[in-house]
C-alpha cells in the first residue's frame, strides 16, 4: 500500500520553505497531497484558492508523478478520510510555531485517531520564511525573489500593483 500524506496549509502563497518540506516529505512518504485549506463561504487570502493551487502545481511540475495539489474546505481530518490518507505533515520553524502546531495536532487526534501528524523542519535557509512576512515585505517594496518560486514572485508583484493600498 502506498504511504500517502497530506501537507496542509493556507499556502498564501507557497514559499521555498514549503517546497523544501514537500521534497523532504517525499523521502519518507510515497505520495504527498498538498492540500490548500480554504473557506468556500469567504475568500480571505491575498490569492484565491484557485490561484494558490495553480502556483503550487507550477512550482512542483517536476514531481507531478508523486505530488498532487488540491484545495479543501472544512476539517482537515475529514479530508484525509475522504482521500484515504493517514498522515498529516506540518512544518516547524522556530519555537513559536510549536504551541499552535501542538494544539492543532492534539485536536486533530481527538477528532480522528486514525490520522497521525508528522512534523518536519525545513532547511535553515528558510527557517524564517513565512507567507505572511513575504507578503508584508513585498507590499512595502522589499525584494523577496529568493524566498518564493519565480511564478509566485511574478504573481505577487502583479497582485500587489493592482491592490488598492
Query: Which residues are designated catalytic?
Result: 18, 42, 93, 131
The interface with ligand ADP within residues 18-57 (CB under 6 A) comprises: 18, 21
CB closer to ligand ADP out of 1 and 9: 9
The CA distances from residue 90 to 31, 126, 145, in Å, are 15, 15, 24
> Which three-class secondary structure string do you get for 28-94?
CCCEEEEEEECCCCCCCCCCCHHHHHHHHHHHCHHHCCCEEEEEECCCHHHHHHHHCCCEEEEEECC
Could you tell me which stretch among 49-57, 65-73, 86-94, 137-145 binds ligand ADP (CB under 6 A)? 86-94
Q: Which is nearer to ligand ADP, 104 or 160 (CB)?
A: 104
Least gap, CB of 153 to ligand ADP (angstroms): 16
Tell me 150's DSSP state: H
C-alpha span between 163 and 104 (Å, rounded): 32
By CB under 6 A, how many residues form the interface with ligand ADP? 16
Closest to ligand ADP by CB, 26 or 165: 26
Within 98-137, the residues that bind ligand ADP by CB under 6 A are 122, 126, 129-131
What is the Cβ-side half-sphere exposure of residue 67, based on CA atoms within 13 angstroms?
23
Instruction: Give the binding range for ligand ADP (CB under 6 A) out of 38-46, 57-65, 70-78, 85-93.
Output: 85-93
**Which stretch in 8-16, 47-55, 57-65, 77-85 sits in contact with ligand ADP by CB under 6 A?**
8-16
Peptide bond preceding 13 in cis form (omega within 30 of 0): yes
Of the residues 11, 47, 72, 79, which one makes contact with ligand ADP according to CB under 6 A? 11
Amino acid at each position: 500500500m502506498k504511504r500517502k500524506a497530506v501537507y496542509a496549509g493556507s499556502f498564501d502563497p507557497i514559499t521555498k520553505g514549503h517546497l523544501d518540506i514537500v521534497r523532504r516529505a517525499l523521502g519518507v512518504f510515497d505520495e504527498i497531497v498538498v492540500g490548500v485549506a480554504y473557506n468556500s463561504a469567504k475568500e480571505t487570502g491575498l490569492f484565491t484558492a484557485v490561484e494558490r493551487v495553480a502556483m503550487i502545481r507550477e512550482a512542483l511540475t517536476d514531481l507531478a508523478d508523486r505530488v498532487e495539489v488540491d484545495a479543501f474546505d472544512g476539517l482537515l481530518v475529514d479530508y484525509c478520510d475522504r482521500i484515504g490518507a493517514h498522515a498529516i505533515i506540518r512544518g516547524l520553524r522556530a519555537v513559536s510555531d510549536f504551541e499552535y502546531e501542538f494544539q492543532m495536532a492534539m485536536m486533530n487526534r481527538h477528532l480522528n485517531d486514525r490520522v497521525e501528524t508528522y512534523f518536519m523542519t525545513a532547511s535553515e535557509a528558510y527557517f524564517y520564511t513565512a507567507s505572511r512576512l513575504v507578503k508584508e515585505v513585498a507590499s512595502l517594496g522589499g525584494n523577496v525573489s529568493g524566498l518564493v518560486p519565480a511564478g509566485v514572485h511574478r504573481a505577487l508583484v502583479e497582485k500587489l500593483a493592482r491592490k488598492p493600498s
